[in-house]
């Protein structure tokens, strides 16, 4: 019996085409809550950039944010895995040297370092990100624990930079940038932290995702569901492949595994 469901946001709950959650997914989540199932968000977005799920946020019990770097249930922080300070400085030096923008995500604030037209196009226009300011004065945010770095770099550039980031790991859910987190920060570990705190067995869970950063949680969940247009590696890890978010994929999978069970 499913007791908890974890949802990625972009490309899973929220359509890249409409920037909205389909009504079928909203209805399915409300139905699941009415059945006593707990609802969790599992996202690469930091907490302050989760601005696109207002249609369901009143039913959300907890969050895995910044790819597992910060997890919380209600207002209770369950786990925090910051990037080593030296790795943060290394990435900022590469940003200066190579001229790419890099989002710096602190525990309480975030800034876009070395912003340019590409960062504006990706984050503001394509992903509809709000609450993100451009600021090359990173000294104040470096006083906080840094949860995530998001450089706007190609996969090839990522492969050149990451050997210098000894305590960090890169993942992608969008082709134009990488998400950098601490080595032990991933959605799968955040998932394990949350279900241990809530006292829920892994086999009583479902997780939905579409990107490379969802692989770890899809593997850990009792039933891992990949969206129809998901990353091919993710599809290979999933227990089930549903249709895309724009084709009511959330509703269809919950109908199969939860509502008809």
Q: What is the CATH number of the domain that holds 142?
A: 3.30.1240.10
Domain stops at, among 123, 148, 182: 182
User: Which among 97, 96, 71 is positioned nearest to 82, based on CA atoms?
Assistant: 71
164 and 203 share one domain? no
DSSP for the chain, written as a single string: ---EEEE-TBTTTB-TTTSS--HHHHHHHHHHHHTT-EEEEE-SS-GGG--S-TTTGGG--EEEEGGGTEEEETTEEEEE-PPPHHHHHHHHHHHHHHT--EEEEESS-EEEET--HHHIIIIIIIS---S-EE-S--TTGGGSPEEEEEE---HHHHHHHGGG-TTEEEE-SSTT--EEEETT--HHHHHHHHHHHHT--GGGEEEEE-SGGGHHHHHHSSEEEE-TT--HHHHHH-SEE---GGGTHHHHHHIIIIIT-
Domain stops at, among 161, 182, 203: 182
204 and 134 share one domain? no
178 and 201 share one domain? no
pTM above 0.75, yes or no: yes
The pLDDT tens digits along the chain (261 residues) read 999 999 999 999 999 999 999 999 999 999 999 999 999 999 999 888 898 999 999 999 999 999 999 999 998 999 999 999 999 999 999 999 999 999 999 988 888 999 888 888 888 777 777 667 788 889 999 999 999 999 999 999 999 999 999 999 998 878 889 999 999 999 999 999 999 999 999 999 999 999 999 999 999 999 999 999 999 999 999 999 999 999 999 999 999 999 986
Q: To which residue do tokens 């990522």 refer?
A: 158
- The whole-number pLDDT of residue 48 equals 83
178 and 189 share one domain? no
189 and 67 share one domain? yes
Q: What is the pLDDT of residues 34-61, one digit of tens each?
A: 999 999 999 999 888 898 999 999 999 9
Q: Do 45 and 36 meet the contact criterion of CB atoms below 8 Å apart?
A: no
Which residues form the domain of 223?
4-80+185-259
129 and 247 share one domain? no
80-98 b/e (C-beta count within 10 Å ≥ 16 → b): bbbbeeebbebbbebbeee
CA 117 – CA 101 distance, rounded (Å) = 9
190 and 178 share one domain? no
75 and 189 share one domain? yes
Domain stops at, among 182, 198, 215: 182
168 and 196 share one domain? no
112 and 178 share one domain? yes
- The whole-number pLDDT of residue 261 equals 67
CA 226 – CA 59 distance, rounded (Å) = 22
How many domains does the chain contain in total? 2
122 and 178 share one domain? yes
Q: What is the CATH number of the domain that holds 221?
A: 3.40.50.1000
CB-facing half-sphere around the CA of 162: CA atoms within 13 A: 19
91 and 178 share one domain? yes
């Amino acid at each position: 019996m499913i007791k908890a469901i974890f949802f990625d946001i972009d490309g899973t709950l929220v359509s890249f085409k409409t920037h909205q959650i389909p009504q079928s997914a909203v209805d399915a989540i409300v139905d699941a809550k009415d059945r006593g199932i707990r609802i969790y968000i599992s996202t690469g977005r930091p907490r302050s950039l989760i601005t696109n799920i207002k249609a369901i946020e009143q039913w959300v019990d907890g969050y895995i944010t910044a790819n597992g770097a910060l997890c919380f249930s209600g207002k209770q922080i369950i786990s925090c895995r910051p990037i080593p300070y030296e790795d943060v400085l290394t990435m900022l030096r590469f940003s200066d040297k190579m001229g790419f923008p890099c989002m710096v995500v602190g525990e309480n604030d975030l800034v876009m370092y070395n912003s340019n037209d590409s960062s504006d196009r990706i984050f503001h226009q394509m992903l509809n990100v709000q609450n993100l300011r451009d600021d090359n004065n990173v000294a104040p945010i470096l006083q906080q624990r840094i949860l995530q770095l998001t450089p706007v770099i190609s996969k090839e550039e990522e492969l050149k930079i990451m050997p210098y980031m000894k305590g960090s790991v890169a993942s992608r859910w969008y082709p134009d940038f990488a998400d950098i987190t601490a080595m032990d920060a991933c959605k799968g570990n955040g998932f394990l932290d949350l279900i241990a705190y809530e006292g829920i067995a892994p086999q009583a869970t479902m997780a939905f995702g579409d990107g490379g950063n969802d692989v770890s949680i899809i593997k850990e969940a009792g039933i891992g569901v990949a969206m129809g247009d998901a990353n091919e590696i993710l599809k290979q890890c999933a227990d089930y492949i549903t249709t895309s978010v724009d084709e009511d994929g959330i509703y269809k999978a919950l109908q199969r595994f939860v509502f008809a069970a």
